[in-house]
Structure 1
Amino acid sequence: MNQFDINFDYQHIWHPYSSMINPLPCYSVVSAKGVYLKLNNGKKIIDGMSSWWSAIHGYNHPILNKALKKQIKKMSHVMFGGITHPSATALARKLIYLTPKNLDCVFFSDSGSVAIEVAIKMLIQYWQALGQKRKIFLTFRHGYHGDTFAAMSVSDPKNSIHKIYNHFLPKNFFADSPISSFHDKWNENDLLSFQKIIKTHSSKIAGVILEPIVQGVGGMKFYHPKCLKKIKILCDYYSIPLIFDEIATGFGRTGKLFAFEHANIVPDILCLGKAITAGTLTLAVTISSRNIADTISNSKVGCFMHGPTYMGNPLACAVANANIKILQKNEWKIQVSKIEKQLCQDLLPLLNHKNVVDVRILGAIGVVECMRIVNIESIQKFFVKNGVWIRPFKQLIYIVPPYIINSKELSILTKSIKEALDNPLFFI
């Protein structure tokens, strides 16, 4: 990209969480292959973010590309209203096979946030069908579920990036987030706040929605599996449906195919996205139990009132099918295990660093929590110069690399983090 194009970009294109007056620097990527992004100046940088958790097999994967080419020769898109097609049917069949038995009704959408919207709307309709007007949801503080309105309403109203919209959003219940970390001893007091809310307001609560095990944008914290087990018991006791938001964690990122498997429990609704197409096209799904689907379908309305234009997009479904075939070879388990082991070796020693509060590792996720807020502009210039792409936020420098990354490439990422910590100019 030449200077003219850069200026046009800065003047006319919105980028995520950036200003149109003082935009953050943008780096022009002209191609990508494996774990590398190629910039317009010819420099190759290692992607430590998997394009925000999604490109789990890296870029330009031949099997994924082949699936896309094969499908586009037939059709790239067709409406899903009154029409179906083999790619969607095959994908639904695969998803039902991969997920627990009670999850067997698949609703396609085109982004993770919309998958959350769909789940919330499902439960509102579910309770209406049962003759109750429940519309309040229970979740944890420090949670994040997306940028659309219903998704924002169940994200932390005080500690999230959405607090400026609070006066527009529906009011939900927020319990204290669990303190017991994934690898620590479980503390029964962690759920006192949650227990109190669900006991007091059980007749008002339409559903519980959680990010299982990993709280993402809310702080990249990994909480104890027993927390989920206890919550499942409470939800069953009060007959309140449980939604799991696995948009970020689904398809192997935590070392399990789905993060809720760490707790050996099953939700009533499961939301998936991001890595479902391995970072090739946008696609998401909301998978519900048969009970929820039938209750909605047997209501006075007689159907679920939602239908995105690109629902069940054939191109996205075709590449998602190819992605799942790759995952079913189970190489990802070995890959993620190796990444976790090396992240422990490379990053855990940083616990002794003067600028570090904590280091957290789970599966192919490595998090370094810093003493101060990271200066994104200056630290990214450093990272790119060092040949890596890492996008910190707030006080967190974290990496979620593609599963195919090798030890040498991963070392370059972790070494860059270590070096960045030593420079006080990278922190505010």
Structure 2
Amino acid sequence: MTSSPIWHPFTQHGLQPEMIPVRSARGAWIKTPAGDLILDAISSWWVVTHGHCHPRIVGAIEEQARRLDQVIFAGFTHAPAEMLARGLIDIAPEGLAHVFFSDSGSTSVEVALKMALGYFRNIGAPRRRIVALEHGYHGDTIGGMSVGARGIFSAAYETLLFEVERIPFPSPGNEQATIDAFDAACANEPTAALIVEPLVLGAGGMLVYDARVLQELQRIARHHGALFIADEVMTGWGRTGALFASDKAGVTPDILCLAKGITGGSLPLAVTLCTSDIFEAHRSTDRSKTFFHSSSYTANPIACAAAVANLEIWREEPVADKIAALTMAQEERLGALRSHSAFSDARQIGTITALDLNVPDAGYLASVGLQLMQHFLDRGVLLRPLGNTIYVMPPYCITPDELDLVYASIAEAPDVLAGESP
């Protein structure tokens, strides 16, 4: 077999020369051509919510593909997009009234930033400053990297990035420092927007923080006339225990970014929701005030049909009950590892759990990361640690026995890495 010409994402091919082929997937399981089964404990990069190949979503895709595959979305519309937009407005935090379609989490953030800057320009009071939370991650496009944490992810592209004001992560006991830093930043210079991952930072290490901080940050943003952007690309669709983390925190963003679970994990699609004020600032007989953003596949009908089916699943199936059960099951299994001397900072929010393996070279590039991933794969479990941080974010269909397999493999990891038999 010749080597593949494919360049894989977030992959160092010098250390991972071979990829695992996948033939099919159902529920929480991935199947290789050889017939091996791998338990998908991270929802294939946080996108699969109800399980792989949910029949209602697959059926919607098949039906829509026979009717309308694609049409330009400038000057045209179609039923799946209209149904989805209305459905999203119905379930989104109150005050969000308009939906802009894109195709990935990164681009939904780009759209949000452009909406914010365009809003202030169009109302005749231009602002340029963006404030972001330390350790945040908002995607790999230029705007997303600019507002994300600077470091290994963005070092090679530093000359392309614009400057933002950063406020410290509100770690336990230090919440007030974050709140004060944002207030000072807004008082020092007019601020266009604050962008945050509400309640939990994903790629930054699954760092959880208190809802009161979000409430205070929103209050300060309103006081200074800044927009509040909630990047719920990862936190949306039930991951924190509520449909949206904004709901769980009791805040209403001016702009909301959604992707990943919007189609149940079946097809790429993203949306950026905003208030009427932001939309109206761009609506004009003056063409120069147009919102200048698009992608060729904006509101692809097949992807929208998958997302409409996803909304139907949320409305008609006991998804909330599954999330509540999974949250409790995760808590029980994480609790059994809290006293393990090899681990520290066990934490949970909703269906997400995380803990850190105690090693000398902690961080995203910790050498133990690849060893851990291989150990889990050897046990038939897909976990992709963030360096020495191990997290579990499974689809909601996972069973207690399947969760036991996940946590057993985590419990074994320290001894296996030390060269001892589990």
Task: Provide TM-score, normalisation by structure 2.
Answer: 0.94
SS at match of 1:361: strand
Among 186, 202, 223, the alignment partner of 2:209 is 223
* Alignment map for 1:206-355 (pairs within 5 Å): 206-298=192-284, 300=286, 301-329=288-316, 331-355=318-342
The 2-side partners of 1:387 and 1:49 are apart by 13
Contact 1:126 1:296 (8 Å CA) reproduced: yes
State the alpha-carbon separation in 1 of the partners of residues 317 and 218 from structure 2.
Answer: 28
CA distance in structure 2 between the aligned counterparts of 1:195 and 1:349, rounded to whole angstroms: 41
Farther off after superposition, 357-366 or 279-288: 357-366
Superposition pairs of residues 16-415 of structure 1, within 5 angstroms: 16-23=9-16, 25-158=18-151, 161-180=153-172, 187-201=175-189, 203=190, 205-298=191-284, 300=286, 301-329=288-316, 331-372=318-359, 373=366, 375-415=368-408
Counterpart CA distance in 2 for 1:302 and 1:167 is 29
1:167 CA drift (Å): 2.8
Aligned length: 412
CA distance in 2, matches of 1:329, 1:77: 28
Q: Distance in 2 between matches of 1:324 and 1:54?
A: 15
For residues 39 and 224 of structure 1, the distance between their equivalents in structure 2, rounded to whole angstroms, comes to 41
CA distance in 2, matches of 1:94, 1:270: 15
For 1:339 and 1:24, locate their aligned partners in 2 and report how far apart those are by CA, in whole Å.
35
Report the Cα distance in structure 1 between the residues aligned to 2:229 and 2:32, rounded to whole angstroms: 40
Alpha-carbon deviation of 1:187?
Answer: 4.6
Once the two structures are TM-superposed, the CA of residue 377 in structure 1 deviates from its matched residue by: 3.3
Offset of residue 299 of structure 1 = 7.9
SS at 1:357's partner residue?
A: strand
- CA RMSD between the two structures: 1.7
Matched to 1:178, the amino acid is: P
AA aligned to 1:219 is G
Cα distance in 1 between the residues matched to 2:415 and 2:276? 54
Q: Deviations over 1:193-215 (max 9, x none)?
A: 222222212x2x21111100011
1:263-292 deviations in Å (ceiling 9; x for gaps):
211000000000000110000000010001
**Aligned residues: percent identity?**
34
2:259–2:270 Cα contact (<8 Å) kept = yes
Q: Which residue of 1 aligns with 2:3?
A: 8
How far off its partner does 1:74 sit?
Answer: 0.3
State the shift of 1:382 in Å.
2.2
CA contact (8 A) 1:30 1:38 kept: yes
Cα distance in 1, alignment partners of residues 374 and 176 from structure 2: 44
CA distance in 2, matches of 1:327, 1:342: 21
Give me the whole-angstrom Cα distance separating, in 2, the residues matched to 1:387 and 1:113.
31
Which residue identity lines up with residue 187 of structure 2 in the other structure? K
* Cα separation, 1, equivalents of 2:17 and 2:217: 41
Secondary structure of the residue that 2:265 maps to in structure 1? coil
Contact 1:336 1:364 in 2 (8 A): yes
| Separation in structure 1 between the aligned mates of residue 72 and residue 269 of structure 2, nearest angstrom | 15
Gaps of 5+ in 2: 360-365
After the TM superposition, which parts of structure 1 deviate over 4 Å for at least 4 consecutive aligned residues? none
Q: Specify whether residues 226 and 330 from structure 1 end up closer, same or farther in structure 2 by C-alpha distance, changes over 3 A only.
A: farther
CA pair 253-263 structure 1, distance change in 2 beyond 3 A: same
Aligned in 2, Cα 1:22/1:408: closer, same or farther, shift over 3 Å? closer
Please give the secondary structure, in 1, of the residue aligned with 2:30. Answer: strand
- CA–CA distance in 1 between the matches of 2:415 and 2:367? 12
Residues 4-24 of structure 1, C-alpha deviations (whole Å, 9 max, x = no match)? 1xx422xx2111112344435
Label 1:307 to 1:190 Cα distance change in 2 as closer, same or farther (>3 A): closer
Q: Taking structure 1 as the reference length, what is the TM-score of the superposition?
A: 0.92
Moved more, 346-355 or 101-110: 346-355
Separation in 1 of the partners of 2:322 and 2:210?
23
